[in-house]
Amino acid sequence: MSYFMNIVRVPKAGKAFELLEGMKAALAATGRPGGITVPVSGANLNNPRPGLISLAGGFETLDDVDSFLDVYLSNVEAQDSQMALEELCDKNTYIISEMLAGAEPPDGYEPTVISRLAMIAKPGKTPELIRALLEVREKVGGDAKNAISRPIAGPIGSVRVTTLGTSLQDLENQRVETVKHIGKIPELISASPVRHVGKVVYRSS
């Protein structure tokens, strides 16, 4: 399995675009493949400013994640850069996740929007939920398949489905097709899934 890191940053009022430029520079400095999305439709209706989300990937093992963190924790300049970004935010959340099945996009495919659907399995149902999501992934297919991942911390049954799209309508078409195949998934989760939709504004490779 491979791993990736998300940082979700909720900007202070009036600081969103200053934060975005800083996040671009910070991601580029890592040398890691990834990207940044800005909210199109936020998941939390009670939050007036949904988060900007960065992703750094390319970690083949947890040892690679350890090495990355060790370098960061010994680099004062990098720490100062991150703290400067945090000062522009009301909230910062760091998430390391295990990729269970990637999107497998074809060469040249460039998504412009991303849907992230988070759900929590009922106690004891996580393996069954993951199997069901993998089956749906294969049935729906598409230019890029649904990516299935789970965070290494937080609620034990947390699972995320990430869908790439070339437009909002493309995402909607994929959602409609996915609904046809959900089967018993609603019986395996503890509450309604939460969806966040973001627009890709930066890519690194």
Average of per-residue pLDDT values in the chain: 94
DSSP conformation letters of 15-31:
-HHHHHHHHHHHHHHHT
pLDDT at 41: 81
pLDDT at 43: 61
Band of pLDDT at residue 29, cut at 50, 70 and 90: very high
pLDDT at 120: 97
The pLDDT of 119-138, averaged and rounded, is 97
Q: What is the largest CA-CA distance in the chain?
A: 51
Band of pLDDT at residue 191, cut at 50, 70 and 90: very high
pLDDT at 44: 62
pLDDT at 118: 96
pLDDT surpasses 70 at 42? no
The pLDDT of 10-20, averaged and rounded, is 95
pLDDT surpasses 80 at 53? yes
Band of pLDDT at residue 205, cut at 50, 70 and 90: confident
Q: Set out the domains of the chain in order of their start, with CATH numbers.
A: 2-96 (3.30.70.100), 99-197 (3.30.70.100)
Q: How many helices (H) and strands (E) does the chain have?
A: 6, 8
Residue 38's beta-bridge partner residues? 199
* pLDDT tens, position by position, 60-96: 999 999 999 999 999 999 999 999 999 999 999 999 9
3-class secondary-structure state, position 103: coil
d(CA 75, CA 134): 39
